[in-house]
Amino acid sequence: MFGISKKAITILFGLLALAFAVGAILLFTPQAGQQARGKPVLWVNGKAVYELDLLRLQGNDPLYAANPQGLLKNLVDTHFLEQVILTEALKQDAARIRVGSAEVRKEVDRIKEQFGLKDKKAYEQFLNQVGYTDAQLRSEVKTQLQIQKRLEQIRSAAKPTPEEVRFYFEVHQENYKGEPRVKARQIVVDDAKLAAELLAKAKAGEDFAALAKQHSKVGAEQGGALGAAPGESEPKPVTKVVFPEKVAEAVFAKKGPGLVGPIEAGGRYYLVKVEEYLPPKVPTFEEVKEQVEKDAQEAKGNGALEAYLENLRQKAQVRFAEDSPFSYKNLPVAKVNEQEILLAQVLQPVFSNQQTAALIQQGLGGLGDLAVQFFLPQTLESLIERELLVEAAKKSGKPFIGSKDQIAQAYLLYETRGLTATEEEARRFYAENPALFTIPASAEVTGVVFKAEAKAKAFREAALRGGDLQALAKAQEGTVTEYGTVSPNQLPAVLDRLVFKVKETFPKGPMGEVSEVVKLEDGTFAVLLVKNRKPEVLKPFNEVVEEAKERVILSKRQQKGQALVQELRKAAKIENRLSQVLAELTPKTQEPAKPPTQEAPKEAPAKP
């Protein structure tokens, strides 16, 4: 419900995405004369869209690849035609945008480079393959560029006011919180024994800077001061990035001053004296004003694009031929107070969902029922809640900006701000959710697979004695796979059980632990070599107290947000007609779909 990604909201409610998706299909769809395009199927603002053009587009749509039937076919038709209608309306509106011949030529050159069309002959073969003349391709390219320019025109024209920018920061200030930093000195040496001796001296009170000047391989002239400019010897605040990963983890886990190490990393030994720990803080508005203005501009542009595309679709005059081979029933499936939600608005996120699309494309049995009984009702509930939140945001009088998704998220963030967590609450959360604070077990794994069990056993015996891995594997016709450092559930199931579920370690040789021969599901035989095995470790509470507090606050925000949504539901007039609409769209020979009666999850708002 929280933690919305800025990058995930560059496309609004799928409309812009589908516009470009259809546009990309149109770009490489054969065009023919009107006589060869069949009958008109529909008209958008008086302009005909022909049967064969739609059939070619269907051929590029993966939802049709599995040959959907019955209710699912009717839903896919409606989704498909809604994309076609919007794209045609968008092309018509963008037709007045000026695009020069040089811009078209540059884009055509890019297409030639993309498809490896290095000479005239290759280009002509390409045109023949996609059914275009050079003039037709350039005309379609011009249309695509006009669309891009029109959309960018809408986006860039939406300028946030100073009040909107400041409020955007107020709502999203957690996004601008900096990283934790430390003021510290370090000593880096190549010898473990020397590192231990230097630690003992530092603990005994010897001057750390003097020890660094005398022994450190890095920054000795600055007394090991991290972040210090050349010629200076006082440490400046630094983030984790200045340390190797293992060292950084230990240094920042202290959450305060003290000695850390020695820690081995990259063949060297690090001893760090932390002088001050600086927790992450929310900067002032002035400190991040430039970035906030950019983010607010993006959000305002998103909202403008969404409103533009929705308005464009609402104004489009659409007429279908009486003998249309397609089913288009974009009926209202819900009403939230006075705002209708149409079927296509629900179908867009459902059919854009990779899980749904994969099931459809695989043609799995019962798929239509699955899509109808689970994804459609769940998505509609999310859209209803989004509508309630957007309406509440408008009534609040606060200057929320962005797409509907962004505004709904921002309203929840604003209404659940200011929550805190005590150390006692954090400790209780830590005790109840140990998995969230556990470093998983890990091991460095290499697998060697053989077709014959006897060869696998021969390799195992040789591996226990040592030698060159590749040579030993090759001698027994084995295939080596370097899995690297892995944790549970990252290896194939049989190998995962062997490494992480078997309690005993394997016999050790010069190459590390050598497993027994194990038979795999495909009938082959494997031997695993395991190094650097590390057990699962629960981080101490004092290392994760701040993270635990943040998780407690997140949990509180989710609970408060869900309660807020329920209050809005109770106060609103909501009509859900999904069951009736699906029944209307179900062919008489097919059993009507029955959406589940249980209450849908109250995660809000939706992510279409």
Look at residue 16 in the predicted model and tell me its pLDDT.
Answer: 44
Residue-by-residue DSSP string for 222-248: GTTBTTPPTT--S---B-GGGS-HHHH
CB-based burial label for 465 (10 Å; 0-12, 13-18, 19+): exposed
Residue 43: exposure state from Cβ atoms within 10 A (0-12, 13-18, ≥19): middle
- How confident is the model over 259-282, as pLDDT tens digits? 888 888 888 889 899 988 888 888
Dihedral angle sign, alpha carbons of residues 237, 239, 243, 246: positive
Domain that includes residue 212, residue range: 179-278
Percent of the chain topping pLDDT 70? 88
Largest interatomic CA distance in the chain = 94
Residue 449 pLDDT exceeds 90: yes
User: Phi and psi at residue 264, in whole multiples of 5°?
Assistant: -85, 130
pTM of the model: 0.77
Is 171 a domain residue? Answer: no
| pLDDT over threshold 70, residue 303 | yes
256/142 same-domain check: no
Domain assignment present for 301 = no
Residue 197 in any domain: the answer is: yes
More confident: 330 or 371: 330
Looking at the structure, do residues 431 and 568 belong to the same domain, yes or no? Answer: yes
Q: How many structural domains is the chain composed of?
A: 4
Q: Give residue 256's pLDDT.
A: 81
pLDDT tens-place string over residues 196-239:
888 888 888 888 888 888 888 888 888 888 888 887 888 899 88
- Do 140 and 217 have their domain in common? no
Quick one: pLDDT at residue 165? 95
The mean pLDDT of the chain is: 84
Answer yes or no: is pLDDT of 2 > 50: no
pLDDT reported for residue 17:
44
Q: Classify 209 as helix, strand or coil.
A: helix
Whole-number pLDDT of residue 349: 87
Task: Judge residue 308's burial from the number of C-beta atoms within 10 Å of its C-beta, 0-12 exposed, 13-18 middle, 19 or more buried.
Answer: buried
Whether 213 contacts 236, CB under 8 Å: no
Q: Is 300 inside any structural domain? A: no
Q: How many helices (H) and strands (E) does the chain have?
A: 23, 17
| Domain at 361, CATH number | 1.10.4030
Could you tell me if 42 and 77 are in contact, meaning their C-beta atoms sit under 8 angstroms apart?
Answer: no
Q: Residue 453 pLDDT > 90, yes or no?
A: yes
Residue 593: inside a domain = no
Q: For residue 339, report the phi and psi dihedrals to the nearest 5 degrees.
A: -100, 125
Mean pLDDT of 121-146: 85
Retrieve residue 285's tokens: 């508005």
The string of DSSP codes covering 370-388 is HIIIIIHHHHHHHHHHHHH
pLDDT at 384 exceeding the cut of 80: yes
Interval 398-404 mean pLDDT: 95
State mean pLDDT over 321-348.
Answer: 90
pLDDT one-digit tens code per residue, 242-256: 888 888 888 888 778
pLDDT at 539 over 90: no
* Cα–Cα distance for residue pair 2/554, rounded to 1 Å: 8
**Is the four-CA dihedral 171, 383, 156, 103 of positive or negative sign?**
positive
Q: Do 346 and 426 fall into the same domain?
A: yes
Quick one: 434 and 445 in the same domain? no
Residue 89 lies in a domain: yes
What's residue 423's pLDDT?
A: 93
Q: Cα(441)–Cα(534) distance, rounded to whole angstroms?
A: 5
